[in-house]
Structure 1
Amino acid sequence: MAPIFFRRLGPYTAVFLLLSRAVLAQDPAPTPPVYPAAAATAADSAAGNTDRQQFANPSVLGMGPSKGLIVRYERMPRFGVASSAKVAGLNDFSTDATKNARLSIKGYIPAWNRPHLKVIVGLSYEREEFQFAQLPTNYELYDNIENKGLKSTAAQIAIIRPIDDVHWYLARIKGELSGDYTSSELRKSDYTRLSAEAIYGWKRSANFSWGVGFQYGYTFGRLSLYPAVIYNRTFNSRWGVEALFPARVTMRYNVSQNSILYAGYTVDGYNYIVRLRSPLTRDGQPDKRALTTLELRETEVKFRLRWERELLSFLWMGAEAGYRYNYAFDAFDRTNADREKIIDSKFNGVPYASLELFITPPRKLLEKAGVRR
């Protein structure tokens, strides 16, 4: 499964890609009986020999390689920004964003790799930056995020548990610190974010796996619980689909063994805590405390084309381009208990491009284990 980047539906894309691949090497079946029954070899499972396959998983034939270490940079050109105040004492404002860029570094480690239980630990660091025209803008929100890194440092654990040759389930829990924090300002209670997901699935064949469950997180900007459907299917030697609906749907075209094209959409959500340099007073509301922090909820939909290409036996490149539609970039009160919306902002639609490098298991190891990409 292709990654959703460093959100957040960003956070979701990378771990599902990893979970969706067949394991590099399965342990040989032990002589004593185990529970569940011993797994088939990697060659049997990956090659689609369903007569001998004993453990199901979400992956299907033709999916891209597993990703161990990922470095990605994304950039948008200049675009218009418009904000409208939702409380007294603030003004409406419009300007141009001259820079919006994201850098993400993610790593995944198989902490436990057995035929009937796989545990993956992930660590990630993401940074988003903005620059605006007319410096300073003299507008509270933009001046507080101008040239300030909106960061997310996260750790997660993902578990995939095959039950038998048809049924499987996976679960993930993620904790992160998200905002414009520095080491001297950091307060865990302000910046901590938690998300989770659980899926129960069916492996109908080597080319078809699907599942249903839920996701609990910030994919749509605010913390929410919503249903999720995994649908991975390979139709023939070239075409397939990989989906985690509603967050992501992608069509796949396998050009060759070392080149893959993707087309589809992703929904990404980001949630940051921004500490204001100066307290913001809400006029006409003496019962409200002056604002010292804001919560930014950012939601965007990307329509994308992506190309992944093997550069070396262990190194791949991902190049992506498309169109970003910004659904919301809103600021909420984090000082008072009402969590009232303070500023409603909209970004103009804009094209974007990204470049990614990621490390995969070397091809020779996969071929030795009998695994086909």
Structure 2
Amino acid sequence: MKKTIFLMMLLFLSAALPLTAFAQDEDDEDWDAYGDLELVDDSKVKRFAKPTIVGLSPTRFLSVSYDRQLPYDMNLSAAKFPASVNDGWGVDESAPISESGRVNFTGGLRFNSNIPVISKSSLVWQTGLNYMRIGYSISDVNAQPNASGLTDILDERGLNNLNWTNTFFVPISEENFFIFQGILDMSGDYGWGLQPFNTIRWSLAAVYAKRVSENKRWGLGVSRTYRVGNLNYVPVVMYDVTSADRKWGTEILFPARMHGRYNFSKNSLLLFGYELEGQSYRIDQFSVGNNSYEIRRGELRPRLEYQKQLSGPFWMNFQAGYRIDWTYNADELEGSREFFRGFFGNQRYGMVNNLSNTVYFNVGISFVTM
């Protein structure tokens, strides 16, 4: 286990990089150390784009929240081992239900951190460890003889996600900049402790952007992501705007999330829009030998989010929305090697599952910077 953790940290330090808002302080410079130097021509000073615009929701350095979904129905197919070209469920196949139940509880605590490591006008680097727990309480289970027993595993262990995130803001001029970001995820039921090193999943993104004014910035890029459970490669569009009166605005990082914003005051605001949430979760009991059997959990969450300052840098946030099941299917990865299905691939599934949609709530407290 120690060796696995050590290797994880080495990879964390080398892989880098959710696209987030950034904080930036002026360079700490001891000007007295230079003595009586001649004044520098201001026109020759290299200037860089600032990482933010006015009116954005505050950057969260540390946050703790609790997420809860209302009851819904879960329908699961039998699990195919191995889910090869001939043995799995086809992409367009209607797999019969072999196990079903009523999910009375889904949710748990979430911890996020986003700590500045370097904060200069020429470079901003922020990093953080994050953890998300999805616990389940499932009743009225109806299982056929070929049922996988996944409801028992979820009820007992739930799903967990531990990730390490780095974000780099790299300005190249007074208006233009790059954002590089990446995530390493260890996601699963953690049935037998920490997962094998080769089941860690990674995401990367790069965006070229322009800060048009203090009220507007936009960007275009590309991302390798697990936002909807399966590995996918998607274009990225960033578009953040604040109106002249600083009341209305947008905070868009399409397709991951899109929000409109209304600022009641500098101490409270409302976001309205959606976010995609998901990851690929290893199920230890189904992962035979070198293979990794993974639930591809993906959710679309239309929502409202109210944020308000409590005292000083401490803010509270409350979300209410609708959780729409994007995917809860499963894949068996031979040798734990990931593959790309995308929107048009015909690789077969290990399981074909369905969750009915439901209302969800999330409440949290954060330590922020404006």
Q: What is the TM-score when the length of structure 1 is the normalising length?
A: 0.78
* C-alpha contact (below 8 Å) 2:183/2:203 kept by paired residues: yes
- Residue 158 of structure 1 corresponds to 167
- Residue 206 of structure 2 corresponds to 198
Residue 218 (structure 1) aligned to one of 213, 220, 226:
226
* C-alpha contact (below 8 Å) 1:29/1:38 kept by paired residues: no
Percent pairwise identity: 26
Runs of 4+ displaced beyond 6 Å: 28-34, 336-339
- Residue 353 of structure 1 corresponds to 361
* C-alpha contact (below 8 Å) 2:100/2:141 kept by paired residues: no
2:68 pairs with 1:75: yes
1:137 CA displacement = 5.4
Which moved further from structure 2: 100-109 or 318-327?
100-109
1:28 CA displacement = 6.3
| Structure 1 counterpart of 2:228, one-letter code | F
Residue 240 (structure 2) aligned to one of 232, 243, 256:
232
* C-alpha contact (below 8 Å) 1:69/1:108 kept by paired residues: yes
Cα separation, 2, equivalents of 1:102 and 1:118? 32
1:134 CA displacement = 3.0
* C-alpha contact (below 8 Å) 1:209/1:231 kept by paired residues: yes
Does the residue aligned with 1:67 lie in a helix, a strand or coil?
strand
1:98 CA displacement = 1.1
| Structure 1 counterpart of 2:307, one-letter code | E
* C-alpha contact (below 8 Å) 2:301/2:323 kept by paired residues: yes
Task: Say if 1:58 and 1:76 are closer, same or farther in 2 by CA, change over 3 A.
Answer: same
| Structure 1 counterpart of 2:128, one-letter code | G
- Residue 330 of structure 1 corresponds to 329
Task: Say if 1:193 and 1:252 are closer, same or farther in 2 by CA, change over 3 A.
Answer: same
Residue 118 (structure 2) aligned to one of 112, 119, 127:
112
How many residues of Structure 1 are paired with residues of Structure 2 in the alignment?
321
Deviations for 1:31-54, whole angstroms, at most 9, x for unmatched residues? 7979x9757xxxxxxxxxxxxxx3
- Residue 103 of structure 1 corresponds to 109
* C-alpha contact (below 8 Å) 2:19/2:181 kept by paired residues: no
Which moved further from structure 2: 199-208 or 127-136?
127-136
Does the residue aligned with 1:94 lie in a helix, a strand or coil?
strand
Residue 58 (structure 2) aligned to one of 65, 72, 75:
65
Please list every run of 5 or more consecutive structure 2 residues that lacks an aligned counterpart in the other structure: 1-16, 32-36, 81-86, 89-95, 340-346
1:153 CA displacement = 1.5
1:340 CA displacement = 3.7
Residue 251 (structure 1) aligned to one of 260, 265, 290:
260
- Residue 282 of structure 2 corresponds to 273
Task: Say if 1:277 and 1:305 are closer, same or farther in 2 by CA, change over 3 A.
Answer: same
* C-alpha contact (below 8 Å) 2:100/2:142 kept by paired residues: no
Deviations for 1:210-248, whole angstroms, at most 9, x for unmatched residues? 010011120121112111011001123200001001111
Task: Say if 1:176 and 1:108 are closer, same or farther in 2 by CA, change over 3 A.
Answer: same
| Structure 2 counterpart of 1:133, one-letter code | S
Residue 168 (structure 1) aligned to one of 177, 200, 204:
177
